[in-house]
Chain A
Amino acid sequence: MSDFSEELIRSKTEDDQEESCVLSGTGMYFPWLQKHIDTVETGGKKEKDFAQTTSACLNRIQEALLKHQWPQAAGYMHSYFQILEDSDSHKRQAAPEIIWKLGSEILFYHPKSNMETFNTFADRMKNMGVMNYLKISLQHALYLLHHGMLEDANRNLSRAETWRYGEKSSSQEVLINLIQAYKGLLQYYTWSKKKMELSNLDEDDYAYNTASQTMLNHSWKTSVNLGALIQTPGVWDPFVKSYVEMLEFYGDQDGAREVLTNYAYDEKFPSNPNAHVYLYNFLKREKAPREKLISVLKILYQIVPSHKLMLEFHRLLRKSEKKDHHKLGLEVLFGVLDFAGCTKNITAWKYLAKYLRQTLMGNHLPWVQEEWNSRKTWWPSFHFSSFWAKSDWKEDKALACEKALVAGILLGKGCRYFRYICKQDHQVLRKKIRRIRKSVKKHSIVNPGL
């Protein structure tokens, strides 16, 4: 605490450029610190009129953007360009990026803005300071893509791809990879369109041959474009998906498998559930053995136990011959129903009701007990409270019946949920409820043997 004010001073003198954020004693930046200091009337340097007006102008633009007042924002933006003449070189250098960010946002939404204006603005901004060329090119291409100008977007990306400034830095490389990948994605669209056309053509047709020839060409180009980016750690779902689709189309199963395996299992990549889903779907298409499919889904189960593929996983495990797979099958179902978003998943409840009976008939009471032990303190109030009994019965009687069966098996006849559903006198469901009662009597784990 004692060197607090010292820190306060030091940070300001050492890091004078970063005027908006000043360091405190704890290493934390407070973006609002400068504002606090500014409210104290210092006898020191007053901000020059120029700086004052530019920062006021920036505030106005931001306010207008927040309120979606695009014309007002555009008006202020016009005045904000004066920052490009700021005598402070640091501010001057940072200006193009701010102008691009705000300007592109305004032009994107402005009612009177058109493609031409945006293009002119983007081309101007690209050449204002070399550091932003790649970023702006990419974003410009995305804008064009968004407006359906695929060819223009492609041209833009090609131009950016060949652009170099000084030594190739790592950040530049990533951006170039990204640009190439988007180019690849565009080629994929063309390819995909061609594929559609091709599927409508007769194989003996002359046109078919030329079309397939162009497709082949495309594929080769695209693989070059997409390959580099998906080696870089990141989330590249759209790129991986389209790349794999093309590889598969040309029969390069090994290549596709390699891409997907790398995307799913490379430790440098973030744990992306989709990577496992893609691999699983690929293996399924390939008609891979069940064992293999289970091993892929096992990992997905560890990452996202609530994934909708888990029910498919359960079916696979149920069909398997191995005993520990059967046990895992029960665990997976309990796991799905642990999650707040899955409590009304009737398929999961149906599976659980059926599988519980099956497991107990197979004399695997310890499996059920093992799963139930960690849940018996909270499942009753999470799933089987009288509130849920009432609301489930009101909203979805089929769900209520399945849940009642599970509740009866796990908590016994005395459980409130089970009692409430049994009490209901429903003409259509009367038979079903009787069956549930019978099942519960036979299988309930609370009083086994009775």
Chain B
Amino acid sequence: MDFPGSLPPTLFRTGPLGVSNTPDLSFMCSWRDALTLPEPLAQNSQNGVSCTAAAPLWEPETPGPLPLLPPGPDPWDPGVTARDLLFRGGIPFRRKPRAVLDVTEQLSRFLWDHGDIAFAPLGKLMLENFKLEGARSHSKKKTVVSVKSLLQDLGGHQPWGCPWASLSFRQRRFSILGGPVLGTSVAGLLGELLHEELATRWERLLLDDAFTGGAMAWVPGRTPQVGQLVYPAGGALDKLRPDFREVSVAPGGDPQALGGPGHIQLRGPVRQVATHTVQGEALLAVRSDYHCALWKVSKQGRPAPLRVLQIGKGATGISLSPHLPGELAVCSRSGAVCLWTPQDGLRQIYKDPETLVFRDPSPWRWADFTAHPRVLTVGDRTGVKIIDTQGPPGCGLLLFRGGAEAACQKGERVLLTRYLGGCGPEPLCPTFHLILTQFSLYLVDERLPLVPLLKWNHDLPSAPLFAQLLPPPQPGHAQPLLLGGQGGHLRLLQLAGEGTFSSLSGRLDLSDATSPPRSPDRTSPEARPQPPVTPPSQELTQEPWARGVPSERQQTLRDYMAKLPLRGDPPGGVPSPLSPSRQQAPVPSGSQPRRRKPRMGF
């Protein structure tokens, strides 16, 4: 635990993030660290080159599970993608492509596919205004429309969206009568809900903090070569590894599964899995949305439940103590951090609904351990604080500040923090913490708060929500650090320690194996019938769902609704002009070309 006698020079600036007049000294490249330690000048002359160039290369070998997987019937199904949520194209967007959540598309599909659900109640309400076929009525009232003749009119030819299409008086009457009711009720009610849902989905697509920490962990077995890989499976991710069996990793050989499969069935989706072996005792902690559970795994690999915790506001993170068996920290969306110990049970050690450095709306919180078993780090999107659980509540000092201290960019937020000590029998760096943001990876020593020892641009194409320091392949080798992005991207880095100073070197990018190929059978915008160019309707623009939706799309929606068949229509009785495009649009996930499975080799 020696503190380095001489730290690399760093400029220290205080202030908010994204201040541009600070010269960011991280402009210096990876070999900077070898250079700025001037003391052993003579011996240092070749050090930097050899230490990085000689780093072993990692080859992806065997397909395996990913630490971050969205729930789905098929674990390799990409689920909702940006294509499903965003509006594609449009004339006002020609010059600058923008994204708009595509409510109209989703809504119109719903109306088409489930017209019975959308319109049946309305139809019933308006029943007295229709004269159904067979019903003999001699009413001369102008408010009663004969369905039969209406369908006949509709069944003619109505080029979809054509403003010059001829309208019969009957249709016009129906339009006047039904228009306001159909338009406001369905679009108003459904549109708002749909928009909200799509916005949530979109946010989750950009960053789903439920998966922070990753759900894959290694439980060591009797010998170092044998252990269990624990990860969730099943459509709802509610099974903890269906074949909860032993995996043997022999150097040079493929991992082999040994023993019989076993699994733990849970009642909620598994969001995070954490393991630690403390004093020879392997512990397994699992976080679900509102529950956390702790198991003790015997030498034979059998898990025995120890404790289940319920978190009313929703849990955002769970961490196992690397120092004391059975201790764990749990964070809640309410801003509280609790420490569970076998002796004292659950104890709230920190609570602050506000964020640490500046105001950020995210309720995400994270806690991890430090080199001192009673001192924890508490993090949110804006920074990371070190708190003494035995000290008076509320005090502590900032370990990492989202600001000029770490030369953070505008809009940069903390996505994950990890205590790197306590990994493996001989921790490389018992005081080091890893902090991940969308842009960079920071290595911070808890003895030197606020000044990152290392900043490195990780360049992951999705949110880095998983980081795991792995044991070195051979004693004395660099420790591999596996980073995982939300989109299934993996990156393997090496943390080479020389005495007390570490640097990142030797990298392998596995991300190319996981990016989904472009699906060729999607509808191109050209294949879609062009909507008429008409001025936007004032009524519709005021609808909340319609905000941000370009007027032409609103018009499209109005057209869709004006032309929807009522319940009771003979199936296929109305040859819809839309059908060609509808056949193209939905592509069943099974028919999509399968993505190449990502490969991993460690």
Residues of A within 8 A of B (CB): 1-6, 8-9, 12-13, 16, 21, 23-24, 26-33, 35-37, 39-45, 62-63, 66-68, 97, 101, 104-105, 108-109, 135, 139, 142-143, 145-148, 169-171, 174-175, 178, 181, 185, 189, 232-239, 241-242, 268-274, 277, 303-304, 306-308, 338-342, 374, 377-378, 381-382, 385, 387-388
Q: Which of A9, A239, A381 contacts B100 (CB 8 A)?
A: A9
In contact, B36 and A142 (Cβ under 8 angstroms)? yes
Least distance between B481 CB and chain A CB atoms (Å) = 14
The one of B7, B199, B462 that contacts A32, using a Cβ cutoff of 8 Å:
B462
* Cross-chain contact B323 with A340 (CB below 8 angstroms): yes
- Find chain B residues with CB under 8 A from A108 CB: 29, 31, 49
B131 at the interface (CB under 8 A from A): no
- Whether A42 contacts B100 by the Cβ 8 Å rule is no
Contacting pair B427 A26 (CB below 8 A): no
Instruction: Determine the distance from Cα of A3 to Cα of B100 in the docked complex, in whole angstroms.
Output: 11
A-B contact count (CB 8 A): 297
Contact call B35/A340, Cβ cutoff below 8 A: no
Known: A29-B409, A39-B82. A169 touches B21 (CB 8 A): yes
* B117: interface (CB < 8 Å): no
In the assembly, what is the distance between CA of A39 and CA of B88, in Å?
A: 10
Closest residue to B405 on the A side, CB-wise?
Answer: A270
Cα separation A30 to B280 with both chains bound (whole Å)? 41
Interface residues of B (CB under 8 A from A): 1-14, 21-23, 25, 27-32, 34-39, 41, 44-45, 48-49, 52-53, 55, 57, 81-83, 86-91, 93-101, 195-196, 199-200, 202-203, 205-207, 279-281, 322-325, 341, 343-344, 360-362, 371-374, 381, 390, 405, 409-413, 421-422, 427, 430-431, 438-439, 447-451, 459, 461-463, 487, 491, 506-509, 512, 518, 522, 524-526, 544, 547-549
Let me know if A171 and B21 touch, CB within 8 A. Answer: yes
Known A101-B29, A308-B2; contact A8-B410, beta-carbon cutoff 8 A: no
Of B324, B371, B422, B451, the residue contacting A382 (CB under 8 A) is: B324
Cβ contacts under 8 Å, A342 to chain B: 1
Contact in complex: B88, A26 (CB < 8 Å): no
Q: Are A36 and B205 in contact (CB under 8 A)?
A: yes
- How far apart are the CA atoms of A1 and B87 in the complex, in Å? 18
Q: How many angstroms between the C-alpha atoms of A415 and B33 in the bound complex?
A: 48
Who on chain B is nearest to A21 by CB?
B411
A382 neighbours in B (Cβ, 8 Å): 323-324, 373
State the CA gap A63–B508 with chains docked (Å).
9
Report A300 CB to chain B, min CB distance, Å: 10
Contacts of A185 in B (CB 8 A): 38
Is A43 within 8 A of B94, CB to CB? Answer: yes
Contact B30 A33 (CB under 8 A): no
CB pairs A–B below 8 angstroms (8 shown):
A5-B548, A5-B549, A42-B93, A148-B45, A175-B23, A234-B12, A235-B9, A340-B372
Tell me which of B6, B44, B96, B410 has the highest count of chain A C-beta atoms within 10 A of its own C-beta.
Answer: B6
Tell whether, in the assembled complex, residue B98 and residue A271 are in contact, meaning their CB atoms are under 8 Å apart.
no
**4 more A-B residue pairs beyond the given contacts A105-B30, A274-B4, A340-B430, with a C-beta to C-beta distance below 8 A:** A66-B509, A270-B451, A271-B449, A340-B373
- Nearest neighbor of A105 in chain B, beta-carbon distance: B29
Q: A37-B97, A232-B11, A341-B371 are in contact. Are A66 and B28 (CB under 8 A)?
A: no
Does more than half of chain B's interface fall in helix, strand or loop, or is it mixed?
A: loop
Closest chain A residue, CB of each to CB of B413? A28
Residues of B within 8 A of A21 (CB): 409, 411
Q: How far is the CA of A68 from the CA of B99 in the complex (A)?
A: 37
Residues of chain A within 8 A of B526, CB atoms compared? 43
**A23's closest neighbor in chain B, by CB?**
B411
Q: How far apart are A190's CB and chain B's nearest CB, in angstroms?
A: 12
In-complex Cβ contact of A44 among B39, B94, B409, B447 (8 A): B94
Tell me, in angstroms, the Cα distance from A120 to B428 when the chains sit together: 40
Which residue on chain A has the smallest CB distance to residue B29? A105
User: Which residues in B have their C-beta under 8 angstroms from that of A338?
Assistant: 372-374
Complex Cα gap A232–B9 (Å): 12
Closest beta carbon of chain B to A391's beta carbon, Å:
8
Q: Given A8-B548, A32-B461, A66-B509: A37 and B29 within 8 A (CB)? A: no
Whether A303 contacts B447 in the complex (CB less than 8 A), given A41-B89, A238-B37, comes out as yes
Query: Which residues on A sit within 8 Å (CB–CB) of B49?
Result: 108-109
Residues on B with C-beta less than 8 A from A13 are 96, 98
Chain A residues closer than 8 Å to B409, beta-carbon distance? 21, 29
A126 → B minimal CB distance (Å): 14
Q: Which chain A residues border B57 with CB–CB below 8 Å?
A: 67-68
B206 touches A24 (CB 8 A): yes
| A36 close to B82 (CB less than 8 A) | yes
With A37-B86, A66-B507 given, is the CB distance from A339 to B12 under 8 Å? no
Chain B residues in 8 Å Cβ range of A33: 206
Closest residue of B by beta carbon distance from A342: B1
* Separation of A33 and B82 alpha carbons in the complex (Å): 9
Query: What are the residues of chain A within 8 A of B203 when measuring CB–CB?
Result: 4, 24
Give the residues in chain B near A109, CB-CB below 8 Å.
49, 52-53
B357, chain A: closest CB distance, angstroms: 13
Please indicate the chain B residues that have their CB under 8 angstroms from the CB of A307 in the complex.
3, 447
Distance, CA A235 to CA B381, complexed state (A): 26
Report yes or no: B373 in contact with A43, Cβ–Cβ below 8 A. Answer: no
A73 to B525: give the CA distance in the assembly, Å: 37
Are A40 and B371 within 8 A (Cβ)? no
B10 nearest in chain A by CB position: A235
Q: Which residues of B contact A31 (CB under 8 A)?
A: 438-439
CB pair B371 A340 closer than 8 Å: yes
Contact of A5 among B8, B96, B199, B451 (CB under 8 A): B199
Which residues of chain A come closer than 8 Å to B508, judged between CB atoms? 66-67
Do B206 and A238 touch across chains, with their CB atoms under 8 A apart?
Answer: no
Q: Is the Cβ of A41 less than 8 Å from the Cβ of B1?
A: no
Q: Are B525 and A41 in contact (CB under 8 A)?
A: yes
Q: Contact between A43 and B93 (Cβ–Cβ < 8 Å)?
A: yes
Given A63-B509, A104-B29, A174-B23: A237 touches B97 (CB 8 Å cut-off): no
By a CB distance below 8 angstroms, the chain A residues around B447 are: 273, 303-304, 306-307
Contact, CB under 8 Å: A39 / B83:
yes
Question: How far apart sit A109 and B18, CA to CA, in the bound complex (Å)?
Answer: 32
In the bound complex, what is the Cα–Cα distance between A232 and B243 (angstroms)? 59
Q: How many whole Å from A115's CB to the nearest CB in chain B?
A: 13
Chain A residue nearest in CB terms to B370:
A340
* Contact residue among B21, B48, B281 (Cβ-Cβ distance under 8 Å from A146): B48
For B4, the chain A residues whose CB sits under 8 A away are 274
